[in-house]
Amino acid sequence: MTSSSILLGTSAAVGILVSSLYYLSEKKKKKKCHPTKCQHCKNINVDDPLRSAKIQRARLPSVIVLVRHGESECNADHTLWRTKPDNLVCLTPEGYEQAYEAGKRIESILSEFDNVATKCELCGGNNSDPTPNEIRRIHLVVSPFERTLQTAMAIRKSLEHLVVRSDVEPRIREQEFGNLQGDEFKAFREEQKFIGRFWYRFPTGESGADVYDRVKSWWHENILQVNQRVGYDPVQAMVVVTHGLTMRFVMMQLFNWSPTTFHSVWNADNCHIYVLRKDLSKPGVSPYIVDDRKGDTPKSSIGILVVLRSGEEKMFTLQDYLSIPPPRTSRHDLIKKRLALQYDELEEEDIVDVHIGDGTHKILTGTGAACGNCSETVPPNFDTIEKPCAPKEMSCRFPNFAWPEEHLIP
């Protein structure tokens, strides 16, 4: 073997050794803790295919506050929608007072999130970063309707020192009911009651499903991306001033409600607040839960057709349907237990079967009278004699709107 061959072989071996050392050095660097993560977050594998998604989840706002507008002119005068465009309907003096109080309440709610220890998304340890998890930066988002803009202005009085950005977002506006100012609107409302608010599309307007689509688009493009925008500092909270129906669709897309569950949920009252708190122990891209200790609790009820051991079939209204864990329609044993607890006349062992949302029922005559099938009470100003309930707002099947009909006006 010549000296040149030996030299060439030695050079190749040295090259391989240097390459190996460089590879090991780079691999060790990759495993170092990212400087922006908590002190517990060591030996993180940057090659984890879910690492980017986990970091994005960890950067989401700590809390989302959904607020319905204050009392509007149409809430007070149920005929005004005939002469005034929906987007121009303003707040009443009572609505302004509700909005000011809502602002104070939101400020108090957000102050309770100060110094909350957060769980590191990558390593599971508590964040020991010296910077507390204070709510110091709020992104305010508002529907472009006049009543929501006025509500947001009143709310902002209490949050001005925290709001760093505000956006008007058309995708969270009220459902478009179409160009209907005459008596034909009542006829379309009756059709909607029969078909269901999620499915029915008004002529020249929207269906509930249309609103759901744009609300879900907004959530994914705005909420989930708000802290991923280059050039903007992250925010710890978002306050969203919108409409009752829109709030329900935010919840529907977030918690994967079925249309049946959606129809069971009642509209939020004026200036009611739903607080969505980030919980990184939850799976998925939107790890939020309803914090009803700080905010209001969504109300829900649904009609249940009960088959008794005697062969009799009778309608009952199950309250707090949302508390039934999904899949709700298959939780027959739990539904039987809940009904027996809510109605003294029912014994769990006497219930043979339950059917969710079946049938219509009749309202009996008189103030305070109860439906013969579901025990719902007739409002004092509802005048009817043995009148079959419409299978939507006035039935056990779709009991998600308040009595009487005028409360349905947006």
Do 260 and 356 contact (CB within 8 A), yes or no?
yes
Question: Residue 108 CA to chain centroid, in angstroms?
Answer: 21
CA distance 13 to 61: 53
Does residue 393 have an active-site annotation? no
Q: How far apart are CA 238 and CA 223, in angstroms?
A: 8
Tell me the torsion sign for CA atoms 394, 398, 401, 402.
positive
Degrees (nearest 5) of the Cα angle 179, 184, 186?
105
**Which one is catalytic: 69, 139, 263, 361?**
69
Token digits for 39? 């002190």
What amino acid is encoded at 386 in this protein?
E
**What are the structure tokens assigned to 36, written together?**
């922006």
**Other beta carbons less than 10 A from residue 208's beta carbon:** 22
Structure-block tokens of residue 323: 């508390």
Q: What residues have CB less than 8 Å from 293, skipping those under 6 apart? A: none
Q: How far is CA 322 from CA 55, 164, 210, in A?
A: 31, 35, 23
Summary count for the chain: helices (H), strands (E): 10, 11
Verify whether residue 69 is a known catalytic residue. Answer: yes
Active-site residue (options: 71, 121, 146, 174): 174
Q: Kindly report the number of other CB atoms within 10 A of residue 212's CB atom.
A: 22
For 54, 141, 168, 252, 384, the CA distances from 64, given in Å and listed in that order, are: 19, 11, 16, 15, 43
Q: With CA atoms as reference, report the closest residue to 305 among 318, 294, 321, 295.
A: 318
Angle between helices 208-218 and 244-255 (to 10 degrees): 70
- Of 393, 387, 388, 397, give the one whose Cα is nearest residue 405: 393
Q: Are residues 218 and 171 in contact, defined by beta-carbon separation less than 8 angstroms?
A: yes
**Residues that are catalytic:** 69, 174
